[in-house]
Amino acid sequence: MTKLHTETRWSKSFPTVVSSPLSAYTCTFEKEAVSCNKRFLRPCDLKRHQKNHIRAVKCDQCKKAFAFQKDLDRHKNTVHHLTIKYFCIHGWCRDSIKPSLDDCILWGFRRKDHWQKHMRDEHSTNRGAVRAIQKDGIPMAVLKNEAWVAVLPRSIQANIQLPSSRTLDTEVATHEWSFVQFSNKESKP
The pLDDT assigned to 101 comes to: 61
25-26 vs 34-35, strand pairing mode: unpaired
The pLDDT assigned to 29 comes to: 86
Taking CA 22 as the corner, what is the angle to CA 16 and CA 27, rounded to the nearest 5 degrees? 125
154 pLDDT band, cuts 50/70/90, is: low
The pLDDT assigned to 141 comes to: 84
Residues 186 and 92: their CA atoms lie apart, in Å, by 26
More confident residue, 106 or 29: 29
Mean pLDDT of 11-33: 74
30-31 vs 4-11, strand pairing mode: unpaired
Q: C-alpha dihedral over 110, 112, 115, 121, to 10 degrees?
A: -130
**88 has a pLDDT exceeding 60:** yes
28 pLDDT band, cuts 50/70/90, is: confident
Mean pLDDT of 40-59: 88
The pLDDT assigned to 117 comes to: 93
Which range of 70-74, 139-143, 146-150 scores highest in mean pLDDT? It is: 70-74
For 97-120, the pLDDT digits (tens) are 876 666 556 788 888 899 999 999
Return mean pLDDT, the chain: 75
The pLDDT assigned to 140 comes to: 86
Mean pLDDT of 179-188: 41
pTM: 0.56
The pLDDT assigned to 22 comes to: 59
